[in-house]
Amino acid sequence: MLKKFVPSYLVDHFSEVKIDKLIDLNKKLVLCDIDNTLVAHDDPSANDDVKNFIKNLKDNGIDIILISNNTESRVVTFNEDLNLDVYPMALKPSSKAYKQIFSKYKHISPDEMISLGDQVMTDVLGSNFNNIDVILTKPIVEKDLIFTKLNRMFENMVIKRMKKKGLWPNEKM
């Protein structure tokens, strides 16, 4: 069970995700979190860095979709000038949205998918439950919503324990 908390790769910021590495790994689809992964949770829209990141992926034949536990209105507003496929209210780490994604993207196997998110308790756990590789990024800002704060407390405990056991990855992507 403890291994389900372990991300496949670590980055400090989404801009460090190496497209070449994703190509080497034969990844075709990125399941991307929004809040504190691409922008701060109170930042309504995508900035140029986010837009460039998405363009760079697409230019290299890698598709990206948004999978967020936040509300439909937050996700739809954020997506206004991105026009990505979106999965709001995803209830990560539950399998709800992942199952929807698997049935919509039948031509892409879970092996060819990779997640990107900032939380162990939602993004990492949900991806590992569904056998999808996952990149854990540091949060964009330290400020979190109250529910996320609770997740962070638990997350810090888990990470500490896994580091002690030598289960936490040392290498950056």
- Minimum Å gap between C-beta 38 and Mg ion is 9
Binding residue count for Mg ion, defined by CB under 5 A: 5
Residue nearest to Mg ion (CB): 35
CB 5 within 8 A of CB 158: yes
Interface positions, 114-173, toward Mg ion (CB under 5 A): 118
Q: Which of residues 25-84 bind Mg ion (CB under 5 A)?
A: 33, 35-37
Nearer to Mg ion among residue 15 and residue 26 (C-beta): 15
- Minimum distance from CB of 12 to Mg ion (Å)? 15
Q: How far is the CB of 166 from Mg ion (least distance, A)?
A: 27
Spatial distance between the Cα atoms of 104 and 101, rounded to a whole number of angstroms? 5
Identify which of residues 96 and 111 has a Cβ nearer to Mg ion in the complex: 96
Q: Min. distance of Cβ 109 from Mg ion in angstroms?
A: 25
Rounded (10°) CA dihedral 167, 163, 20, 102: 60
**Which residue lies nearer to Mg ion by CB, 85 or 164?**
85
Sequence-distant (6+) residues with CB within 8 A of 109 are none
Using CB under 5 A, list all residues that contact Mg ion. 33, 35-37, 118
